[in-house]
Amino acid sequence: MNSPKDLKKQLRKEALARRDALDEFWRVEIALEMAETAKEKIDFEPGRVVSGFWPMRS
């Protein structure tokens, strides 16, 4: 039986492989489109703290 740590490592490896298999141009375009959509749909009050996350690797 795999430990939770081993399972997490395998799942991460598989997820990264799927992401790496995507066309790079498409990934950039979709990221920009998501950012523009968020800008239009999510209203932030001035001074509000917002968190962001950078993807692992890729």
Domain boundaries, the chain: 4-32
Is the confidence at residue 55, as pLDDT, over 80? no
Is the confidence at residue 9, as pLDDT, over 90? yes
Residue with the two structure tokens 């996350």: 53
Query: What percent of the chain is predicted at pLDDT more than 90?
Result: 57
Stated as kind and residue range, the H or E segment containing 40 is helix 24-41
Identify which has the larger pLDDT, 51 or 27.
Answer: 27
Q: What is the pLDDT of residues 27-42, one digit of tens each?
A: 999 989 998 998 888 8
| pTM score, whole prediction | 0.59
Average pLDDT, the chain: 89
